[in-house]
Structure 1
């Protein structure tokens, strides 16, 4: 029975082993699949592509941290509300601080992309920016 289970597991893993495309072997592909569309649509050089991938990675890390800040702020607000210690001024100030952090990250993201792209690539990027909206 045990050897049958091991054989079954190996068979299933072999079944899926050949389905990964060479360019998608990176674990980042699923969460950043659109970067490959950008590479093609913007006609990025390999150097630009690598730099853009780094910019996106950094932006996602910053956004993850910011989302954590929003969640902590929301939980704190919830707890203060329940405990009858709600402070609207504090909530607004802390929310604005997080929002400023988010806007700063977004500004840096777009500034870096702007410096990376050629004028023609910028036009293509701007044309499709809504379609390619950055997932937060």
Structure 2
């Protein structure tokens, strides 16, 4: 559920290519961070990459779900294949989160990081 909410929020940021509109949404979603103009520019790029990775993750998730269903429908249940697919999905989700958080850590000041960490769970890939 959080994935959907985050995806919709990020999609809304990029719904309109007009620069002022995009800045307004960055301020609205991350206003508690008091980003500088340079930080806004960097965060916008980070969010664009994050959104793209989430879209790719969703496609992978659907593909893996189809594979899991196929495995379940087989005459014998292959737990190793199911575990392997689940681990692949987990690795990808953690990779997306880690890359996003690493980039945000680099852009934010220590004070902004303290504010950002209050909404840390909102950025989990599920």
TM-score exceeds 0.5: yes
Residue of 113, 117, 120 corresponding to 1:126: 117
Matched, 1:45 2:36: yes
Is the CA contact 1:70–1:95 (under 8 Å) kept in the aligned structure 2? no
Number of the residue aligned with 1:93: 84
Q: CA deviation at 1:115?
A: 0.8
Specify whether residues 128 and 99 from structure 1 end up closer, same or farther in structure 2 by C-alpha distance, changes over 3 A only.
closer
Instruction: Tell me the TM-score normalized by structure 2.
Output: 0.71
1:32-61 deviation per Cα after TM superposition (whole angstroms, max 9, x unaligned): x86322443211111111110111111121
Question: What pairs with 1:46-85 in structure 2 (closer than 5 Å)?
Answer: 46-85=37-76
Which has the higher Rg, Structure 1 or Structure 2? 1
Q: What is the SS of the residue equivalent to 1:75?
A: helix
Higher relative contact order (CA 8 A, sep 6+): 2
Where in structure 1 do 4 or more consecutive aligned residues deviate above 3 Å? none
Specify whether residues 93 and 128 from structure 1 end up closer, same or farther in structure 2 by C-alpha distance, changes over 3 A only.
closer
Residue of 86, 93, 99 corresponding to 1:102: 93
Instruction: Tell me the TM-score normalized by structure 1.
Output: 0.66
Is the CA contact 2:71–2:77 (under 8 Å) kept in the aligned structure 1? yes
Partners of 2:104 and 2:47 in 1: CA distance: 9
Two-structure CA RMSD over aligned residues (Å):
2.5
Gaps of 5+ in 2: 1-14
1:5-27 deviation per Cα after TM superposition (whole angstroms, max 9, x unaligned): xxxxxxxxxxxxxxxxxxx8438
